[in-house]
Amino acid sequence: MSNKGLFDLSGKTIAVIGAASGIGEAVALGCARQGARVAALDLNEVTARQVAERATKDGASCEAGPLDIRDGAAVDRAFDDLASRHGLDVVICTPSINVRKPILRYTDEELQRVLDVNIKGNFNVLRSAGRIMTERRKGSIILFSSVRSQVVEPGQGVYAATKAGILQLVKTAAAEFGPYNVRVNAIGPGVIETPLTAPIKANKAWYDAYAAKSVFNRWGTPEELVGPTVFLASDSASYVTGTIIYADGGWLAADGRFTPPGM
């Protein structure tokens, strides 16, 4: 290990998808700080380049480019380009979308939108990264699931189904890619302050209700997802595959927030 210790990413080339904002932005900057060569990829190329510029000002190695994970050919081109120039050691995919509606009010178009990003998009990333990494016989792929892979609420049916689907894709890929020394894992955030959750934060009652689901009585920040992600990207996790790390503030651990009398 180098002087950066267990979470050293020096010498690794890492593609972070969704790097323009929220969790992806925090993870891209975090991986760069740990010594990785980072490719900050996002549908919003302009903002992704701003993130890359912030990283390079701190002395890190970071480039940026556009990527729409719904386009399988575009994913292949982006990863093949990175692999040909620098190799491809780690791929981290953070984007997802949600349409909060009861099942009976969902339209076909809304269903397709969520499936295209959360399932098709993550599948494209998994397939493309897996092709390159199994040929190279090394690598780590990290997808983002959610506590919604385990628990639901009204209006979250499609989103929850896709987050459970991502977890099952991770487990299957881990089994298929493992003989080639390629690890596949997931991160399962609780409620995190990101652009995706901004409408909830704007509603105080809703915001407070979600905060109360955490044993810390607060929301998480994107920066609090960096540590679990860097761990899975690093050689410290060399025997970790096919699993999920929940970074949810105890959301799934605590069955309700009522404290019985006398406790």
- Residues labelled catalytic: 159
Q: Is 93 helix (H, G, I), strand (E, B) or coil?
A: strand
The 3-state DSSP class for residue 214 equals coil
255 touches 247 (CB < 8 A) = no
Amino acid at 234: S
Cα separation, 144 vs 186, in Å, equals 5
Contact of 27 with 227, CB cutoff 8 Å: no
Closest by CA to 186, choosing from 108, 104, 125, is 125
The neighbouring-strand residues paired with 140 are 90, 183
Structural tokens at position 48: 């992704």
Q: Are 224 and 150 in contact (CB under 8 A)?
A: no
Q: Cα separation of 66 and 169, whole Å? A: 24
Four-CA torsion 97, 108, 70, 156, nearest 10 degrees: 20
